[in-house]
């Protein structure tokens, strides 16, 4: 190789390394850098969902509704920047559900600020139920802590508040976990027993990462995930 080609070869190698760090090891079935990028698969909808102000670049990829992830480079500032997730429509009242459960397994970064969480909507967008499975950095739920309870297979600090548009109930796991199962119907029944909401229609169940910051670029992976109901 001539000397004139060596700098170019080095540049190509560097660019290839940068691209490889931002995407899964093998080309995914679908990917998008559009902030509203969406993909339907297996009855679920996968969304990039970059919605917060001051957000940086984010690329989502997916092999299926169950296996997806993002590379995100959001600045180290306050406020949620994005909620990349996979969602399944339910559209059933709590009382008509025999069961509503979910399983998940994630690989997540040890820096940045985010939570790995479910976002469950009921009666359209009147009620938002968030279930935090783990959290990293300076993040916290909306509202004030009401109690600690064990329900749905885990122990949670329960918060109640409003985002100005709808009621928000947040179940923050008392210890981080990267895999497990959740009895979502049991959580919803707990909210009914507390008198915080009635026999609402469960609109959909979403699962992903609510990212506040990921400066320098971080990878967030969902290795497997499913929602089952009857």
Give the pLDDT confidence score for residue 38 in this predicted structure.
98
Neighbours of 93 (CB within 10 A): 14
DSSP annotation of 49 reads -
Average pLDDT over residues 184-207: 98
- Provide the percentage of residues in the chain whose pLDDT is more than 90: 88
Q: Is 200 a known active-site residue?
A: no
The one catalytic residue among 56, 100, 104, 210 = 210
**What is the rounded (10 degree) CA torsion for 143, 146, 147, 151?**
-60
Whether residue 150 lies in the annotated active site:
no
Q: Which two tokens stand for residue 65?
A: 């509704």
- The residue among 110, 83, 106, 112 whose CA lies nearest residue 177 is 106
Q: Residue 46 pLDDT > 70, yes or no?
A: yes
**How do beta strands 167-173 and 127-136 pair?**
parallel
Please determine, for residue 23, whether its predicted confidence score (pLDDT) is greater than 90. Answer: no
Q: Which of these, 66, 75, 72, lies nearest to 32 by C-alpha position?
A: 72
Backbone φ and ψ for 184, nearest 5 degrees, come out as: -70, -35
Determine how many CB atoms are found less than 10 A away from the CB of residue 217.
18
Q: Looking at residues 89-116, what average pLDDT do you find? A: 98
The residue annotated as part of the active site, out of 86, 128, 171, 213, is 128
Average per-residue pLDDT for the chain: 92
Q: Please report where in the chains the tokens 């998008």 appear, as a residue.
A: 32
SS3 191: helix
C-alpha span between 174 and 166 (Å, rounded): 25
> What does the block give as tokens for 204?
């959909």
For the cut 50, the answer to whether the pLDDT of residue 8 exceeds it is: no
Residue 79, pLDDT above cutoff 80: yes
Name the one residue in this structure whose structure tokens are 């080309």. Answer: 27
- So what's the pLDDT on residue 4? 46
């Amino acid at each position: 190789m001539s000397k004139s080609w060596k700098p170019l070869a080095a540049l190509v190698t560097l660019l290839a390394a940068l691209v490889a760090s931002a995407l899964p090891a093998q080309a995914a079935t679908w990917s998008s850098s559009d902030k509203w990028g969406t993909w339907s698969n297996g009855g679920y909808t996968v969304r990039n969902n970059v919605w917060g102000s001051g957000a940086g670049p984010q690329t989502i990829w997916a092999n299926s509704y169950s296996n997806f992830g993002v590379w995100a480079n959001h600045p180290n500032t306050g406020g949620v920047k994005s909620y990349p997730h996979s969602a399944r429509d339910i559209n059933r009242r709590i009382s008509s559900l025999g069961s509503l459960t979910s399983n998940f397994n994630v690989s997540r970064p040890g820096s940045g600020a985010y939570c790995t969480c479910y976002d469950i909507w009921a009666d359209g967008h009147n009620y938002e139920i968030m279930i935090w499975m783990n959290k990293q950095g300076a993040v916290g739920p909306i509202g004030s802590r009401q109690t600690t309870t064990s329900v749905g297979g885990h122990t949670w600090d329960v918060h109640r508040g409003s985002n100005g548009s709808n009621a928000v109930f947040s179940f923050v796991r008392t210890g981080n976990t990267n895999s497990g199962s959740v009895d979502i119907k049991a959580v919803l029944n707990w909210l009914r027993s507390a008198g915080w909401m009635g026999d609402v229609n469960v609109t959909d169940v979403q699962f992903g990462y609510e990212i506040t910051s990921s400066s320098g670029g971080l990878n967030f992976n969902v290795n497997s995930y499913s929602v089952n109901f009857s």
